[in-house]
Structures are given as C-alpha cells and as structure tokens.
Amino acid sequence: MLEMVLWLIGYQLLGEFIAHTLGLPVPGAVIGMLLLFITLLLRRSVPRGLQQHVPVLLSNMSLLFIPAGVGLLAWWPLLQESGWRLLLALVLSTLVPLLLSALVLKTLLGRLRARE
C-alpha cells in the first residue's frame, strides 16, 4: 500500500511543480489527478495495487477534510466579519448555474420534441 500512496503523492507533487512553474491558476492536485488519469489511459489498465488500495483511501477520505476544517479556524475573525457574503456567494454560484442548466435543458428538449 505504501508504494501506491507514494505514487499518488508523486503525481500530486508533479502537479504542484507544474502549476507553480507555469504559474497556472489550477491547483496542483487537480493537475496531478489529470496526469494520473492520462497515465492510466495510456496503460489501458489500473495497477493491481492501486485497485486494491484506493478503496481504502476513499473510505477514509472524510479524515482528509479535518485539516481543512481546522484551518478555517485561523480565518475565524474574517469569517465572522464576511461569512454571510461568502455564504451568499456559495449559494448563488450553485443556484445560478443549476437554474441556467435546467433552462438550457428544457429549451433543448423542447426543440427536440418539436422536430419529432
């Protein structure tokens, strides 16, 4: 299992290096996941160790959110001051795309039914 975890960390570090070197506004972890995905596509198979151990990591993924949650405490004064703005931004940035997607889907389905 340690070998597979080291491979995953290696991909994340490579992603971080690429993001930092190229000045990309994308998190290095996302770039690392993309690189891992491309590697698995090119291999056309998933290594047995990865197949066996990734479910264990996924089942314990909630533990990985604890440091992020604790990190929020460092920003507590800012959250108290501007928390409602952040909450409003989160709600609107979720609802607006959802509603627009529903509207586009409804329009496209209406056009499709009109053709039939």
Is residue 69 situated within a structural domain?
no
Cα-trace Rg, the chain: 21
Instruction: Report the pLDDT value the prediction gives residue 89, as an integer from 0 to 100.
Output: 94
22 assigned to some structural domain: yes
Domain assignment present for 109:
no
Greatest Cα pair distance, the chain, in angstroms, is 58
Domain count, the chain: 1
What range defines the domain where residue 46 resides? 1-59
Query: What pLDDT does residue 79 have?
Result: 82
* 19 falls within a domain: yes
Measured CA to CA, the distance from residue 109 to residue 116 in angstroms comes to 11
Q: Is residue 25 assigned to a domain?
A: yes
Tell me what pLDDT residue 39 has. 92
Full pLDDT tens readout for the chain, 116 residues: 678 888 889 999 999 999 999 998 888 889 999 999 999 999 988 888 788 888 887 888 788 777 777 777 888 888 888 888 989 999 999 999 999 999 999 999 999 999 88
